[in-house]
Amino acid sequence: MPEISIKAEEIFQLFGIKFTNTLLLSTVVFLVFLLIAFFYNRASSNPKKGVYFYFVNFILKGIYQLFESVLKEQTEYFFPILGSFFLFIIFQNWFGLLPGVGSLLYHHVPLLRGNEADLNSTLSLAVISVFLIQVFGIKYLGFKGYLSKFINFKDPISFFTGILEIVSEISKVISFSFRLFGNIFAGEVLLTIMAFLVPILASFPFLLLELFVGFIQALVFAMLTAVFVNVAITKHH
């Protein structure tokens, strides 16, 4: 039976920095992400454009329209961060399903492993998301206006509601991180067990399922961030 570790395994150290198998794959995905952006930017400046430009542009337009349904006229301002969340997470999820990821061993541990199956990664994304929500809220409503959503002494009900809002903001970090981690890690475990029990083609339907789950989880994370941003920048009534 294959060993399944919740935590990421260390592969090597460089200048005192521990490089885990999830960090290695994350670095690969990040470089691919940069290359796609670089070639898209270069293609956009070409008068003839090309198939690559229109294909990437079609995908970006579809993602933009999803966020537009939530943020309306504010979509253009928030799209860079929200689109980055969606694309980065879906790339991480799908790269974690590639052949060799999880099966190539280095000193008896997987050389590469899906980044979102590491709670450190999902927790980092959650902290960034919730932090930016607070920043955008302050930017649009002002520090005093945004703070009034959480601290209000007008009456006992408003004060109690503000306390609940503070708890809600903190719980978003837990919700974001554990939802993404739980779904991706569960998929990793499922694929590993199926590949061990029935090695030939039995895991293929589950692989297709995980492709869909990876897409849904990226969409849920980005759309929830969009919804919470929209709530944060809306004046309190």
Q: Are strands 17-20 and 105-106 parallel, antiparallel or unpaired?
A: unpaired
Residue 169 CA to residue 175 CA, distance in Å, equals 10
- Contact in structure between 52 and 35 (CB atoms under 8 Å): no
pLDDT at 2 over 60: no
pTM value is 0.88
The residue assigned the tokens 């960034």 is 128
Domain edges within the chain: 10-232
Residues 116-131 have a mean pLDDT of 92
Residues 149-161 have a mean pLDDT of 80
CB atoms within 10 A of CB 113: 24
For 66, 116, 193, 196, the CA distances from 228, given in Å and listed in that order, are 15, 22, 37, 41
CB atoms within 10 A of CB 36: 14
Residues 160-175 have a mean pLDDT of 88
Give the contacts of 104 (CB within 8 A, at least 6 positions apart). Answer: 110, 111, 112
Residues 177-203 have a mean pLDDT of 80
Q: Is 13 helix (H, G, I), strand (E, B) or coil?
A: strand
